[in-house]
Amino acid sequence: MTDPVDDLRAAERRLQAAQLAGDADALDRLLDDRLIFTLGVDGNTYTKQDDLALQRSGTQSLTRVEEEDLQVFVEGTTGVTWFLGRLAGTFAGEPFQAQMRYTRTWIRDDPHGWRVVAAHASQVPES
């Protein structure tokens, strides 16, 4: 039996890899259908379908997802990850790069494994 913290850490890193690859199918498996994502830049909320549409349309394309710090907490079938890292790519044809912090709440069940149900992202001032 695997350690739940290690299992969630691996799921978080699969999510990062799927973001970098623009792999909407992998993201579909890692995001819960009820996902609500809050973007700190504008305070708006987005759904799983919004996220997948960005990937499938090519509106967002990442060229860098570099983890600088990752903290993981698990209690039963609920987990939280705190990611700090650098992202780069294009959004709507415009290049961007930023240091970002993501807080993700995950749920786990047997048929699906770990899936993100809530997330928040904020840009972090460069240090």
Query: pLDDT below 70 — which residues of the chain?
Result: 1, 127
Token pair of 66, please?
Answer: 């570099």
Q: What is the pLDDT of residue 41?
A: 73
Checking phi first, is residue 22 left (phi over 0); if not, alpha (psi -120 to 50) or beta? left
Q: What is the pLDDT of residue 78?
A: 98
Instruction: Give 4-124's CATH code, choosing from 3.40.50.1820, 3.90.1150.10, 3.10.450.50, 2.60.290.11.
Output: 3.10.450.50
* β-strand partners of 36: 47, 118
Sign of CA dihedral 10, 103, 93, 59: positive
Spatial separation of the C-alpha atoms in residues 125 and 127, rounded to whole Å = 6
Q: What is the pLDDT of residue 126?
A: 78
Asked if 71 and 85 touch (Cβ cutoff 8 Å), the reply is: no
Q: What is the pLDDT of residue 42?
A: 82
Q: What is the pLDDT of residue 1?
A: 63
Q: What is the pLDDT of residue 2?
A: 84
Spatial separation of the C-alpha atoms in residues 100 and 88, rounded to whole Å = 10
Domain ranges of the chain: 4-124
